[in-house]
Amino acid sequence: MPTVNQAPVLIARPGERGETLAGALRDKGFVVARLDVMTLEALDEDAATRGVWLDLDHYPKIIVASPFAALCLGEAIDRYWPQLPVGIDFYTLGRGTAEVLDQTLGVRAHTPPPGAGEESSEALLSLASLADLSHQRVLLVAGEGGRALLGETLAERGAEVTRVEVYRRRYQPPEAELQRQLAAGSFHALVVTSGELLQYLARWCHEKALNQPLIVSSHRLALLAGRLGFRAIKVASGASPAALAAALNESCNVRGADVDERTQ
């Protein structure tokens, strides 16, 4: 079991979901420090976006890319639809986003199959119901940038894809002490579930940090981490607190010593 005297686990997840993850790891006995380098900011609604919300019943499939996107979608539906349109299948990249849709809209979303082993665009695209989308309109609700593979693959499969960006990411450097810990590798492990965040944090990660355990939520992120120079990469089965905590337990040397492992 981890001890209270160990170096901290650094987590980069923003907002309430970051606090939930921190609490789950503390419950497992880990010391946790939040990097707080990114905040999520809802975008103002323009005429084009409003038109999409008003035509929501024209989209038989809606794919929601993240929990914050799900919150923004739920608020939009509350504004324009007293009753949720029927006949829409909702899809999410992970269970966390599906839970937000369930809580805000009372809908059950399709998620990547359990056998996929991870929560990612690639895993979602393996669903049989997304294999042939000829002449189908698909709405993709996401943040600014990212998830290009998802939209491109849906279009290749015949879908008429409309993308609505509902929030932006704002970045700020870690606090000075956390910058020092990153540079020196003075942490138990680093937990990151976003490619943009990983690339942003890599600028503070020097040689010792690159040898410390890095927990990521998909094989796509693991490949990116390898290109950035990280050497002790562990892929969790998803982005949920339970999945990340399990991967952390499997990966970490509880004494906090440096490790030098190949990508798992």
Prediction pTM value: 0.83
> Helix, strand, coil: what percent of the chain each, to 5?
40, 20, 40
- The predicted structure's pLDDT at residue 163: 96
pLDDT exceeds 80 at position 259: no
- The predicted structure's pLDDT at residue 72: 97
Domain ranges of the chain: 9-37+172-251, 41-169
Question: What are the two backbone dihedrals, phi and then psi, of residue 57, each rounded to the nearest 5 degrees?
Answer: -75, -5
Which of 8, 60, 58 is CA-nearest to residue 29? 8
Burial of 215 (0-12, 13-18, 19+ CB in 10 A): buried
pLDDT tens digits, residue range 199-254? 999 999 999 999 999 999 888 899 999 999 999 999 998 888 998 999 998 886 44
| Interstrand relation of 38-42 and 160-171 (parallel, antiparallel or unpaired) | antiparallel
- The predicted structure's pLDDT at residue 5: 47
> 41-169: same fold as 9-37+172-251?
yes
Which of 145, 256, 262 is CA-nearest to residue 194? 145
Burial of 144 (0-12, 13-18, 19+ CB in 10 A): exposed
Q: Look at the block and give the residue holding tokens 């503070």.
A: 204
Residue burial 25-39, b: 16+ Cβ < 10 Å; e: rest: beebebbbbbbbbbe
pLDDT tens digits, residue range 20-61? 999 999 999 999 999 999 999 999 999 999 999 999 999 999
Choosing among 3.40.50.10090, 1.10.357.10, 3.10.560.10, 3.20.20.150, the CATH entry for 41-169 is 3.40.50.10090
pLDDT exceeds 70 at position 174: yes
d(CA 161, CA 153): 10
pLDDT tens digits, residue range 103-121? 999 999 999 887 666 678 8
What's the CATH number for 9-37+172-251?
3.40.50.10090
